């Protein structure tokens, strides 16, 4: 096959995987065009490419390729092999199993999760690749709050994913346990093995926290937030240990912020959404997905107007979805347990959102280019890259961080 365009971003092994996928789609021949997707600052742990070709019937073939980095320091810092393993497990095993459960229960189309079809994966080290169908969905501006309706669309998808996880746990507990054990929790600190990764990931969080605390207005708020970022790994481990039986845990989407939620628009209005990127999927409380979405994708005013309604809406969709599998939310995940989890996980979710804040509010020309990282010293010298940010960016970030803290105080999470 003749590849043209951004071909240097694909290894020989990855090209062969693309060729295999195209052959299954009745590729007719001719050039296969490779284009980079997104601007600087849109993609942090993978290169994203669009692949264009045609079938022998003249129909367009459009695929999205997620390509793992080859930079050694970056791979070690983000634990690229395990993140791509997570997403491969989700697309090749978990999500197809969820489809089986939906089919067996005759779930109507409007109550099913929306997801991109996977055309193939590569798991070889340094050549990790995930090929997905390119659907007619668009990414929203990550700096603009989702609307009330858009948040509800995303919550519906999360509730349906969580309901399927509860259904799998009920109907095939051994398979559920297998998936849970396969998925890697990036936020739990590594122990004896991978000590270098621990240095890359967790020493830098202490420096990052000091930078973030500087955005808060009062010493009282700084004291409240102290440790929310620097102790993220310890909090994740303690929360996992406190929930050893996993009765109320689900397989999370794990990273539902603006760049990983795609919307379909009609006449300028969003009518559907679809989750992408399952690299941070893991086992935890459903509220982690809920808070991650709300904290990272909405502003203070929108939260003030709709926060409690969102929680009610999520729980109703969860209850309705569980009914398809002959389960009841009052038994599977009681509402009072959800309220308890919101308070138990609130501080941890704030910490995750503070970390993400260092990426969300950068303009594309001031994006923190992780591919430039050469070693640990480079990371520690600029853990969040504040020196690269414009005055307006710093103001947006400061307002967002203070608003997050104010929300968590109002909800009783701090």
CA distance 110 to 224: 43
Element holding 53 (H helix, E strand):
strand 47-54
> Structure tokens of 179?
């998936």
Q: What is the pLDDT of residue 203?
A: 47
Lowest mean pLDDT among 41-45, 93-97, 244-248, 312-316: 41-45
Q: What is the pLDDT of residue 243?
A: 84
Kindly indicate the confidence band of residue 328, based on its pLDDT and cuts at 50, 70 and 90: very high
Residue 383 pLDDT greater than 50, yes or no? no
DSSP 202: I
CA distance 44 to 50: 17
Q: Provide the 3-class DSSP secondary structure of residue 123.
A: coil
Q: 6 — phi, psi (to 5°)?
A: -80, 55
Residue 188 pLDDT greater than 90, yes or no? no
For residues 21, 22, 26 and 27, what is the CA-based torsion angle, rounded to 10 degrees?
A: -170
The string of pLDDT tens digits covering residues 103-132 is 999 999 999 999 999 999 999 999 999 999
The string of pLDDT tens digits covering residues 126-145 is 999 999 999 889 888 888 99
User: Do the beta carbons of residue 342 and residue 19 sit within 8 Å?
Assistant: no
The string of pLDDT tens digits covering residues 196-227 is 444 434 447 888 899 899 999 999 999 999 99
CA terminus-to-terminus distance, the chain:
57
Strand spans (E) along 107-220: 118-122, 129-133, 138-139
Query: Which residue in this structure is represented by tokens 């993220």?
Result: 232
Q: What is the pLDDT of residue 148?
A: 97
Contacts of 312 (CB under 8 A, 6+ apart): none
Strand spans (E) along 112-226: 118-122, 129-133, 138-139
CA distance 346 to 410: 11
Contacts 24+ apart (CB under 8 A), 386-391: 386/211, 386/358, 388/362, 389/362, 390/363, 390/366
Mean pLDDT value of segment 2-23:
93
Q: How far, in Å, are 171, 262, 264, 407 from residue 83 at the CA level? A: 27, 20, 27, 31
CA distance 293 to 305: 16
pTM comes to 0.92
Q: What is the pLDDT of residue 47?
A: 86
User: Do the beta carbons of residue 69 and residue 80 sit within 8 Å?
Assistant: yes
Class for domain 73-115+135-411, per CATH? alpha beta
DSSP 363: -
Lowest mean pLDDT among 6-15, 43-52, 218-227, 234-243: 43-52
Element holding 208 (H helix, E strand):
helix 204-213
Residues listed for the chain: 414
Q: 385 — phi, psi (to 5°)?
A: 70, 35
Higher pLDDT, 23 or 374: 23
Q: How far, in Å, are 21, 159, 203 from residue 200 at the CA level? A: 36, 34, 6
Mean pLDDT value of segment 298-305:
97
CA distance 182 to 2: 37
Q: What is the pLDDT of residue 201?
A: 45
Question: Which of 277, 272, 228, 229 has its CA nearest to residue 252?
Answer: 277
CATH 3.90.1200 placement within the chain: 73-115+135-411
| Paired strand residues for 60 | 54
| Angle between helices 286-297 and 148-171 in degrees, nearest 10 | 160
Q: What is the pLDDT of residue 372?
A: 55
R_g (Cα) of the chain, nearest Å = 21
Q: What is the pLDDT of residue 151?
A: 98
CA distance 214 to 389: 15
Question: Which of 70, 90, 91 has its CA nearest to residue 80?
Answer: 70
């Amino acid at each position: 096959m003749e590849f043209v365009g951004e071909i240097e971003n694909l290894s020989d092994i990855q090209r062969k995987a693309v060729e295999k996928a195209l052959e299954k789609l009745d590729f007719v021949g001719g050039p296969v065009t490779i284009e980079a997707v997104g601007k600087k600052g849109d993609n942090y742990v993978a290169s994203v490419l669009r692949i264009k070709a045609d079938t022998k019937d003249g129909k367009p073939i459009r695929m999205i390729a997620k390509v793992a980095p080859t930079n050694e320091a970056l791979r070690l810092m983000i634990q690229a092999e395990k993140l791509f393993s997570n997403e491969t497990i989700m697309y090749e095993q978990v999500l197809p199993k969820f489809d089986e459960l939906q089919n067996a229960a005759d779930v109507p189309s409007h109550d099913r999760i929306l997801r991109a079809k996977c055309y193939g994966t590569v798991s070889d080290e340094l050549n990790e690749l995930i090929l997905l169908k390119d659907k007619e969905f668009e990414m929203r501006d990550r700096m603009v709050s989702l609307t009330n309706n858009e948040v509800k669309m995303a919550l519906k998808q999360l509730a349906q994913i969580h309901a399927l996880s509860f259904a799998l746990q009920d109907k095939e507990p051994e398979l559920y346990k297998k998936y849970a054990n396969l998925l890697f929790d990036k936020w739990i600190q590594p122990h004896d093995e991978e000590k270098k990764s621990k240095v890359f990931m967790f020493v830098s969080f202490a420096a990052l926290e000091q930078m973030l605390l500087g955005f808060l207005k009062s010493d009282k708020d700084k004291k409240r937030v102290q440790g929310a970022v620097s102790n993220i790994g310890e909090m994740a481990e303690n929360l996992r240990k406190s929930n050893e039986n996993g009765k109320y845990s689900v397989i999370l989407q794990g990273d539902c912020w603006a760049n990983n939620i795609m919307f379909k628009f009609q006449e300028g209005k969003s009518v559907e959404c679809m989750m992408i990127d399952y690299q941070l999927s893991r086992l935890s409380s459903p509220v982690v997905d809920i808070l991650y979405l709300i904290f990272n994708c909405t502003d203070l005013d929108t939260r003030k107007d709709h926060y409690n309604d969102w929680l009610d809406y999520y729980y109703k969709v969860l209850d309705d979805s569980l009914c398809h599998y002959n389960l009841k939310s009052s038994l599977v995940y009681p509402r009072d347990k959800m309220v308890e989890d919101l308070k138990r996980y609130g501080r941890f979710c704030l910490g995750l959102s503070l970390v993400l804040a260092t990426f969300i509010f950068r303009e594309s020309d001031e994006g923190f280019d992780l591919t430039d990282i050469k070693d640990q010293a480079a990371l520690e010298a600029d853990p969040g890259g504040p020196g690269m940010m414009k005055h307006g960016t710093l103001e947006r970030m400061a307002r967002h961080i203070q608003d997050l803290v104010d929300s968590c105080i109002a909800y009783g999470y701090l």
